[in-house]
Amino acid sequence: MKKLLTLFLFIHSVGYATDPYKRNAAIDVQQYLFQLEVNDSTDQISGVARVTIRFKKSITSFDLDLATKNAQGLGMTVSAVMLNGKSISYRHQNDRLTIQLAAASNVNEQLTFEINYGGIPLDGFIIGKNKFGDRGFFGDNWPDRGHHWLPVIDHPSDKARVTFVIIAPHHYSVVANGIKTEETYLNVKQKLTRYEEEVAIPVKVMVVGIARFAVQRAGVVDGIAIESWVYPQNKAEGFSDYATAVQVLDFFHRHIGPYPFKKLANVQSKTRWGGLENAGAIFYAENSVNGKGDHVSLIAHEEAHQWFGNSASENDWHHVWLSEGFATYFANLYLEHAYGHDQLVKEQLADREQVIKYYARNPAPIVDTTLTDINKVLSTNTYQKAGWVLHMLRHELGDALFWKGIQRYYARYQKSNALTDDFRLVMEEVTGRNLKPFFDQWFFRGGHPRLSGTWSYSLSKKELTLDIQQTQKEPFFSFPLDLEYVSKDGLKKTETVQIDSKTSKITLKADFEPSEVKLDPHTWLLFEGQIQKK
Ligand SMILES: [Zn+2]
């Protein structure tokens, strides 16, 4: 997910501020099958969900998330819950569907529950006209809006395989996660389309889109088809703009690890976000298509999520930087690959400015376990600051070890879940270094170094002396600081010094008299401040 298009304030939420998500450790969803029927005369959807659950403990009831009908009549109504062809009892209130088992489950038992339900979704499934006046239906689950139209465990820790069976008016095309395995004209009006995703994915990136589309195969990388799905009126611009996704996929596929899904569709849609990284079917805002090819960074961000977020997923919302920080930095890494290192520097400078501004308003750390409203996990901290921390980690470790660590982290946690410490342990394993101080100061504490310093040069000793202060409140940071000194006639030298305390006095041998000293000349440190001649 890249950009907010609508203020979260307007989104219905189920009151997480007072009711943090309680996960049920006794159940693990293995697979969802959603058979949904949509039509052109009403916004009513009706369907059957088959939810296959493995029981990790013996229990007699469990909850799924499913929005209840509100006073305006928006929301879902359940008409039956079945197990092995028999109705079983359930309660549906306060956005929870509580399913009662006739007998306690056995440990490791796997059962498939069938839920018959329907209604008009309040959110999570956007039904309406696009900018050309054409009707369409677009899933938009991120972060926990899936339960407005699907009975699910609406939390990224419980990933599952998903099949969508969509019955829709036959003039629509259907796109979803996974591979299309069936398309059947049922009668003169309706068509059935079936998609199956065999990799377990979080609900936040499960999706279906039903609309009139122009569809093009933009390219193939290592057997993976990359498709563009755009509004027919935008065909020329859309096919051109989305084609860049082929080079992006190729770069990540070669540098991170094998692309996790069987196809990638890039879809023009009614998502409220600038882009939403739905697994194998990225949805972009409809105005992302303009024929100018100026959304490369957005496309790279959403594609990076296929590895980080969709395949290697954060195990809890407080660690969402494992999605968003990675996607932010990997988009910048793609831009560096495509346009050169100066482009990366430009992006990092812009991001740094944002991080510094954001800190003035909100001094929280990247991993902020005090947050109970999950809508607030989206921030400059989890995007740009976390991206910056990856950038600094790369500088500390060097490119070879950085990439080795990234590849090993992905290989270990692909199709699985991880927390920040899991990532740290992999990076420690690869480097043989204790990275706990680095992770603690950058991910688990707020802020960044604010530096102020003076320098002087002794011609007789040929020594450059620097006095550098960290002026922020404690704690003080430990970091390598690059310094560049430049002479009047253009001689240049870069040195790296280690800063570990509030005050550092450093003396360097310098063969020529500097006219200027620059802190962090190559943009590798998240900091603010400067150094002046004494
Ligand atoms: Zn994102």
For 258-315, the pLDDT digits (tens) are: 999 999 999 999 999 999 999 999 999 999 999 999 999 999 999 999 999 999 999 9
Condensed to tens digits (0 to 9), the pLDDT of residues 509-526 reads 999 999 999 999 999 999
- Give the pLDDT of residue 532: 96
Q: In the structure encoding, which two tokens stand for residue 428, read together?
A: 């420690």
Q: How far, in Å, is the centroid of ligand 1 from the Cα of 64?
A: 26
Q: How far, in Å, is the centroid of ligand 1 from the Cα of 276?
A: 7
Q: Name residue 215's amino acid.
A: V
- Among 19, 121, 115, residue whose Cα is nearest residue 62: 115
Give buried/exposed letters for 425-436 (b at 16+ CB in 10 A, else e): bbbbebbeeebe
Q: How far, in Å, is the centroid of ligand 1 from the Cα of 382?
A: 10
Q: How far, in Å, is the centroid of ligand 1 from the Cα of 245?
A: 16
Q: How far, in Å, is the centroid of ligand 1 from the Cα of 324?
A: 5
Q: How far, in Å, is the centroid of ligand 1 from the Cα of 298?
A: 9
Q: How far, in Å, is the centroid of ligand 1 from the Cα of 36?
A: 28
DSSP per residue, 256-278: T-S-SSSEEEEEEE--SBSEE--
Q: How far, in Å, is the centroid of ligand 1 from the Cα of 407?
A: 20
Residue 274 contacts residue 3 (beta carbons within 8 Å): yes
> By percentage, how much of the chain surpasses pLDDT 90?
93
Condensed to tens digits (0 to 9), the pLDDT of residues 484-494 reads 999 999 999 99
Q: How far, in Å, is the centroid of ligand 1 from the Cα of 101?
A: 39
Condensed to tens digits (0 to 9), the pLDDT of residues 31-89 reads 999 999 999 999 999 999 999 999 999 999 999 999 999 999 999 999 999 999 999 99
Task: Kindly tell me if the per-residue pLDDT of 8 is higher than 60.
Answer: no
Task: Kindly tell me if the per-residue pLDDT of 21 is higher than 90.
Answer: no
Full-model pTM: 0.95
- Give the pLDDT of residue 10: 34
Q: In the structure encoding, which two tokens stand for residue 331, read together?
A: 């988009």
Q: Tell me what the pLDDT averaged over the chain comes to.
A: 95
CA atoms within 13 Å, Cβ hemisphere of 297:
14
Q: How far, in Å, is the centroid of ligand 1 from the Cα of 362?
A: 20
Under 8 Å CB-to-CB from 188, ≥6 apart: which residues?
Answer: 170
Q: How far, in Å, is the centroid of ligand 1 from the Cα of 481?
A: 30
Between 20 and 265, residue with greater pLDDT:
265
Q: What is the dihedral of CA 139, 141, 147, 151, to 10 degrees?
A: 60
Distance CA 378, CA 358 (A): 12
Give buried/exposed letters for 25-51 (b at 16+ CB in 10 A, else e): ebbbbbbbbbbbbbeeeebebbbbbbb
Distance CA 264, CA 369 (A): 34
CA triplet 164, 168, 171: central angle to 5 degrees?
Answer: 125
Q: How far, in Å, is the centroid of ligand 1 from the Cα of 330?
A: 11
Distance CA 142, CA 126 (A): 13
Q: How far, in Å, is the centroid of ligand 1 from the Cα of 277?
A: 7
Q: How far, in Å, is the centroid of ligand 1 from the Cα of 184?
A: 35
Q: How far, in Å, is the centroid of ligand 1 from the Cα of 2?
A: 4
Q: How far, in Å, is the centroid of ligand 1 from the Cα of 386?
A: 12
Q: How far, in Å, is the centroid of ligand 1 from the Cα of 414?
A: 17
- Give the pLDDT of residue 3: 56
> By percentage, how much of the chain surpasses pLDDT 70?
96
Task: Kindly tell me if the per-residue pLDDT of 220 is higher than 90.
Answer: yes
Q: How far, in Å, is the centroid of ligand 1 from the Cα of 141?
A: 13
Distance CA 339, CA 300 (A): 13
Q: How far, in Å, is the centroid of ligand 1 from the Cα of 532?
A: 39
- Give the pLDDT of residue 58: 96
Q: What is the dihedral of CA 356, 362, 366, 371, to 10 degrees?
A: -170
**Cis-peptide into 143, omega within 30 deg:** yes
- Give the pLDDT of residue 9: 33
- Give the pLDDT of residue 22: 64
Distance CA 267, CA 139 (A): 12
Q: How far, in Å, is the centroid of ligand 1 from the Cα of 309?
A: 8
* C-alpha pair distances (Å), 77 with each of 66, 88, 148, 307: 9, 16, 11, 36
The average pLDDT across 344-356 equals: 98
- Among 208, 212, 141, residue whose Cα is nearest residue 175: 208
Condensed to tens digits (0 to 9), the pLDDT of residues 419-472 reads 999 999 999 999 999 999 999 999 999 999 999 999 999 999 999 999 999 999
Q: How far, in Å, is the centroid of ligand 1 from the Cα of 460?
A: 55
Condensed to tens digits (0 to 9), the pLDDT of residues 386-413 reads 999 999 999 999 999 999 999 999 999 9
Q: How far, in Å, is the centroid of ligand 1 from the Cα of 326?
A: 9
Residues bordering ligand 1, an ion, CB closer than 5 Å: 1, 324, 327
Q: How far, in Å, is the centroid of ligand 1 from the Cα of 263?
A: 19
- Give the pLDDT of residue 7: 37
Q: Which residues pair with 112 in a beta bridge?
A: 52
- Give the pLDDT of residue 5: 47
Q: How far, in Å, is the centroid of ligand 1 from the Cα of 113?
A: 33
Q: How far, in Å, is the centroid of ligand 1 from the Cα of 29?
A: 25
Distance CA 91, CA 447 (A): 46
Q: How far, in Å, is the centroid of ligand 1 from the Cα of 308?
A: 9
- Give the pLDDT of residue 2: 62
Task: Kindly tell me if the per-residue pLDDT of 114 is higher than 50.
Answer: yes
